[in-house]
Amino acid sequence: MTTQAYSTDEIITIAAARLLRNRAVCFVGIGLPSTAANLARLTHAPDIVLIYESGPIGAKPLVLPLSIGDGNLAETAETVVSTPEIFRYWLQGGRVDVGFLGAAQIDRFANINTTVIGDYKKPSTRLPGAGGAPEIASCAGEVVLVLKQSARSFVKKLDFVTSVGHLDGGDARKRLKLPGKGPVAVVTDLCVMEPALETRELTVTRLHPGITREKVTNATGWEIRFAETVGETGLPTTAELETLRDLERRTKLAHGQATAG
């Protein structure tokens, strides 16, 4: 383990990356999910297969992509197929093990909003939209969600349901005959949550180092539940921190956000 200081961005990325197993086929969203997935590829999961919505399969980007259309994804992929093939053959065909997504809002059953904040017709903020998230949330073998935690993002009621998690809980996904398991974990900068076995309501199972239950409660817009036994996220290792920081340094250089000196 390490005694180095680390940021909240680093602990959320590292905690999320650890959930990805080697050789899994992972459908990746841009932002924190992409950072975590590529960190996993560069550390404990070198044979993970990263798929992006634009068609790259087995992408091994040298730097973090700016978007799903970033040329670095196609240039480093084992192959590139059409977007319809990605969705119909890979995702809807049951060939994606993990969908890795972010969100602007999430509720207690891990339904997510990436469409608007506020009233749909006159929103205070218009978000990027659904993209492929509804299909990923419905069809991937399982889903991992990654987002920073606050009472504004972890809300009692979503302003718009973009992608389903566990709907209203219980066996709702089964009743709708959705093929995937849905969200199996939500990773934030404070903790890790998992759906309760029967109700499917998100429950805190691990706190990050130095984070209290009170802090998690204050950053959640509903009465958050804690598991009977709550563990603690392991500290970032030196190797994880160095790999992540080098990846981000290369990315900034490539995108003109930093100088070599």
Q: How far apart, in whole angstroms, are the C-alpha atoms of residue 242 and residue 246?
A: 6
DSSP 245: H
Helices (H) and strands (E) in the chain, counts: 8, 14
Question: What long-range pairs does 72-81 form, CB within 8 A, spacing at least 24?
Answer: 80/55, 80/56, 81/55, 81/57
Furthest-apart CA pair in the chain: how many Å? 58
What the block records as the tokens of 43 is 């550390």
Which of 53, 135, 201, 248 does the annotation list as catalytic? 53
Which amino acid is it at 220?
Answer: T
Whole-number Å distance between alpha carbons of 254 and 94: 35
First and final C-alpha spacing in the chain: 29
Other Cβ atoms less than 10 A from the Cβ of 213: the count is 14
In the residue annotation, 53 being an active-site residue is answered as: yes
Catalytic residues: 53
